[in-house]
Structure 1
Amino acid sequence: MHACVVHRAGDLRVEEREPVAAGPGQVTVSVALGGICGSDLHYYRHGRVGDFTVREPMVLGHEIVGHITGLGPGTEGPATGTPVAVHPATPCDHCPHCTTGHRNICADTRYLGSAARTPHVQGGFAQSVTVPAAQIRALPSGLALDRAVLAEPLSVALHAVHRAGDVHGRRVLVTGAGPIGCLVTAVLRHRGAAEVVVSDLLDTPLRIASAAGATATVRADEPGAPGWAEEFDVAVEASGAPAGLRTCVERVRRGGTVVLLGLLPPGEVPLLGNITVTRELELRGAFRFDTEFDEAIGLLAEGLPVDAVVTHTFPLAESRAAFDIAHDRTVASKVLLDLGHV
């Protein structure tokens, strides 16, 4: 089979790899589509994501959908040919975090396409993957693969909104209109937020945010624009930029909540500590997701308005071009790899 493999910063290759046969408790999936995530881009361009550094060749990708092609001995699961999405995480299920409902922050989680541990966990940008059966989700009838492939990033957005608390009737700011920021926007509107204002430095992402349900968009480099006139009850930082975090802290009202979702650059970043203290702001981290994956699939099947987030699809052989386009936020949002066509 062929797979998209990162070797080091700037070194991305489509190369042959041996498929892994399904063992007891495992399922093999023929991967149809995979979404390029911001973390995949960081591995490709910088050889790292936050504190996770590529130390050996690693298949990228953790946003994947496809069809069942085989079950391991004694494994129960969907029949061969069933369209499925793959939950990318395998927590340990016995640590204090797992046993108290916080599996998403399990320190011993295996996550597809992650360099957080060595050996790295190989990812899903391969024509065939074998995973524990517990990671498989059969798709509802009528849910197309090119929508279902958004289940993983939508789960991230759902978890961030859950971390924000009750947003019904609230005024919310989202900094960063990348794929995650736009999906957060769609979830906020679905959860009843009265206003969702999205900021970004570029016009194309802001147009996509509007299609996802933003009630207003503002350029981050135009601080005097009308959308900035009032304070916000909640702010979600989805850009991963220190300037975005600063904006959230400055713009949220006294006693408001800031959710940190985008991964900031490695090392220390400036924080407006005095404002956080004197306004009694709540800063909450949001990392990955857990049961939100099933909720995301349900929302996609129900027609949550997120189709505008997907802007490009490339065959696997053109992975480098796909990654380069995905990095160009003036034209692209979520870029897909078609694993069925080399």
Structure 2
Amino acid sequence: MAPSATGDSAPMHIPAVSKASKINASVLHGPRDLRLEQRHIQEPGIGELQVAIKTTGICGSDVSYYKKFANGDLCACQPLSLGHESSGTVVAIGPHVTGFNIGDRVALEVGIPCGQCGICRQGRYNLCKKMRFRSSAKSFPHFQGTLQDRINHPATWCHKLPDNISFDAAALLEPLSVALHAVNRATPTPGSSALVLGAGAVGLLTAAMARQSGCSTVTIADVDQGRVNFAIAKGFATHGYVVPSQLHTSSSCSSLCSSSNSGTSTPCEGVMTPASTTISFQSSLDTAKTLAAEMLAEANGPGSMMADDEDDGVDITFECTGKEVCMHTALYATKAGGKVIMVGMGTPIQTLPMSVAHLREIDILGIFRYANTYSTGIKLLCARDRPNRGGYVLPNLDEMVTHRFKGLDNAKGAFELASRTIDDGGNLVLKVVIEA
């Protein structure tokens, strides 16, 4: 069920707020055409809070909009503020809202469903056809993102934060929710083995949630050595695999096993002619088989808890890139009776070796964003230093933030850096945030 905005405590005195006040907003008008503008914000309406945004993380979908003014099949048709991984402070309270006080720290869940349809009543509100999601061009007028000084947001979708969760970590509750939803769909049993393809923010968090859920062996794979090293050093995964350059450069998609984003992402560019389709597909399958075999060998290496008879596959593969060849790899790397969870969204139309899934009874499950995850994510972050039953301690999410930009006027630099894997100094770029 959706979280409630009600609570036992009464709101403090609400200071008078003018009917409209000026705020600054970072607004995208076209590809790489990012402008700092003044907007007017009304006082919060019925059931709303006004939140001063403190931290916004940049997601892969935001980068796609920034570069192309589009994200996959979704093309922006009016100026759009980006940003949906956000946290902030309550600065005004609208009528009929209880349980919140001025100054409360909150994480924002930015997808607003209708709450009335059958799918919402089932608790799967992420699938609501009337969903409005901040920084997405799907609905019109577009639901503006959080890269603004302040926004009015339904109190129902504002989650109060304890003092021991930083604003940066709270912003990462959004991609953490994607990871939680993916693991909830996978329902791993204690001692399961897992493979995660893609070591971006969502991939890292998915690996961590797999370990948190009881998976004893979690292997993470990516083309970027720095991200794989980070995953192992910080405890997100137990094993790591770096895709050899000769494989990912010869693949039909040069970004093989590179991280994608959690909502929608841009498909790989490039067109195959009919004459080359069969050859390219077979080449992709051969590459996938090689990758799967090498990843399984890594997972069965020193320190592995996988049984010898499980070297034919892992129990669960989380495909976090959205790339066709990575989906091929996922199918070949998953054992009979296992599951493949489609987390990343990239190539919209894929040709898959379905007989692999058919003959081995591999379940293929998709996820879209998340539902009913924020309260669990907050509880996990509150208890981060406490090991789970298997002794696993959740990594410090603040360490995922590799670069911070101060102020909306520096948003352009943040977006440019977020599209890279290393900065000018050769340092790893993982999660870029814009702070107030």
Does structure 2 retain, via aligned residues, the 8 Å contact 1:235–1:259?
yes
For the 8 Å contact 1:198–1:209, the answer to whether it is kept is yes
SS of residue paired to 2:37: strand
Which of residues 50, 53, 58 in structure 2 aligns to 1:28?
A: 50
Which residue in 2 is equivalent to 1:106? 128
Structure 2 Cα separation of the partners of residues 312 and 10 of structure 1: 20
Structure 1 residue aligned with 2:241? 218
Q: Retained in 2: the 8 A contact 1:77–1:133?
A: no
Structure 2 gaps, min length 5: 1-22, 248-290, 301-310, 385-393, 423-427
- Aligned counterparts, 1:46-61, within 5 A: 46-61=68-83
**Matched residue, 1:327:** 419
Task: From 238, 255, 270, give the equivalent of 2:351.
Answer: 270
Q: Deviations over 1:271-304 (max 9, x none)?
A: 1212121212111001111210111111112223
* Superposition pairs of residues 1-342 of structure 1, within 5 angstroms: 1-210=23-232, 211-221=234-244, 223=291, 224=294, 226-227=297-298, 230=311, 231-266=313-348, 268-303=349-384, 304-305=394-395, 306-315=397-406, 316-330=408-422, 331-338=428-435, 340=436
Q: Deviations over 1:93-148 (max 9, x none)?
A: 11111111211111111111111111111111111010111111110232221221
Using the alignment, how far apart are the partners of 1:35 and 1:144 within structure 2?
13
Larger strand percent: 1
- Give distance in 2, aligned partners of 1:7 and 1:96: 36
Q: 5+ residue gaps in structure 1?
A: none
Structure 1 position 251, deviation (Å)? 0.7
Distance 1:194 1:33 in 2: 34
Shift of 1:228: 5.9
Task: For 1:336, give the aligned amino acid.
Answer: V
Structure with max Cα Rg: 2
Q: Cα gap change, 1:74/1:98 in structure 2, threshold over 3 Å: closer, same or farther?
A: closer
Question: TM-score, normalised to structure 2's length?
Answer: 0.75
Q: Deviations for 1:28-60, whole angstroms, at most 9, x for unmatched residues?
A: 000000011111111111222232211111111
* Partner Cα separation in structure 2 for residue 127 and residue 63 of structure 1: 14
Identity among equivalent pairs (%): 33
The question of whether the paired residues in 2 share the 8 Å contact of 1:212 and 1:308 is answered with: no
Q: How many Å separate the matches in 1 of 2:50 and 2:364?
A: 40
Aligned residues: 338
**Counterpart in 1 of 2:9?**
none
